[in-house]
Amino acid sequence: MFYVKISTIFYFLLIIPILFTGCANQEKNQDEEQEQAEDQAQKWINLLDAEHADHWRGYNGETLPPGWTINNGMLYFDTELKLEQDYTGGSDVIYGGQKFENFELSVEWKIPEGGNSGIFYHVNEGHKSPSGTAPEYQLIDDEHYADIHDLVGYNSQFGAEHPELLQDWQMTGADYAMHPVEIEDKVLHPTGEWNTSKIVVAPGRTEHWLNGKKLLSFDPGSEDWQKRKNSGKWDGYPDYGKYNSGYIAFQDHGSPLWFRNVKIRPIE
């Protein structure tokens, strides 16, 4: 019995330091994970909070255009729905506080039935509008847009087989007039409900996401990208895609719009 007790005591003398070391390492790992999470949170910039909301303004302007309002962390545009065949341009807005090159952008948005808008990135001023120079993440009513608007005149110029319908490069999540959505199980919530879009721009890779699913990925400036640019809508736009850094912008395409939780994280 005495031998067993001595062995037991010796065992515990050996194991206690190991237990303390394991606990210390676990606490250290937890602290490191918490620090990493806090560091990641600090990198996100809320573009609609009290610190940043004042930096929104019209493209080539100094203030928000009529109809655009920021209130309670939401940016919204109040207007009557205009028909596509009557659209001649709108009052796009930009976040003018900072230009971004590589980043991850997250935006919650909703549009009404027949609505249309877009998220531009790498926007530079001095042009008529962001369209024609900056890539666009398309936001549109996939289901009802073609029923409400006359698309024939616009789409016929691109040789569409069915110009009365929305084309794949015009649907929500597409890299407008360049890259259509690549997946078949896209999740787009009905008009009037919130959706969450994400854009990731990294060296040699741009991704469009919608409601947690990656829709497409492409390499800006690649041979495939150049081929698409030179054979479609942007063939006559020499400045399209020329900028590697710029502002974030939202498009006024003649419909009410709502945006919230507009957050961006620069990627180094």
The answer to whether 231 and 99 are in contact (CB under 8 A) is no
Per-residue pLDDT averaged across 200-215, rounded? 97
The answer to whether 92 and 250 are in contact (CB under 8 A) is yes
Indicate the SS3 state at residue 164: coil
pLDDT digits (tens, 9 = 90+) for 4-50: 454 554 455 445 455 455 555 566 566 655 545 444 555 999 999 99
pTM, 2 dp: 0.85
The answer to whether 39 and 33 are in contact (CB under 8 A) is no
Residue of higher predicted confidence among 237 and 15: 237
- C-alpha atoms less than 13 angstroms from C-alpha of 168 in its C-beta half-sphere: 11
CA 65 to chain centre: 22
Among the residue ranges 38-47, 138-147, 218-227, 251-260, the one predicted with the least confidence is: 38-47
- At residue 268 the predicted structure's pLDDT band, cuts being 50, 70 and 90, is confident
Q: Which residues contact 204 (CB under 8 A, 6 or more apart)?
A: 219, 220
Look over the chain and give the mean of its residue pLDDT values, rounded to a whole number.
90
pLDDT digits (tens, 9 = 90+) for 142-169: 999 999 999 999 999 999 999 999 999 9
How much is the pLDDT for 32?
Answer: 56
DSSP H or E segment with residue 14:
helix 2-43
pLDDT digits (tens, 9 = 90+) for 165-188: 999 999 999 999 999 999 999 999
Q: Whole-angstrom Cα distance, residue 115 to residue 232?
A: 24
How much is the pLDDT for 33?
Answer: 57
Per-residue pLDDT averaged across 209-222, rounded? 97
- For the chain, list the strands marked E by DSSP: 45-46, 56-58, 68-71, 74-77, 93-100, 103-110, 116-123, 136-140, 195-202, 205-210, 213-218, 246-250, 257-266
Residue 120 has pLDDT above 50, yes or no: yes
pLDDT digits (tens, 9 = 90+) for 65-93: 999 999 999 999 999 999 999 998 899 99
The answer to whether 251 and 131 are in contact (CB under 8 A) is yes
Indicate the SS3 state at residue 81: coil
Q: Whole-angstrom Cα distance, residue 93 to residue 247?
A: 10
How much is the pLDDT for 38?
Answer: 46
Q: Whole-angstrom Cα distance, residue 222 to residue 38?
A: 36
- For 145-229, list the strands marked E by DSSP: 195-202, 205-210, 213-218
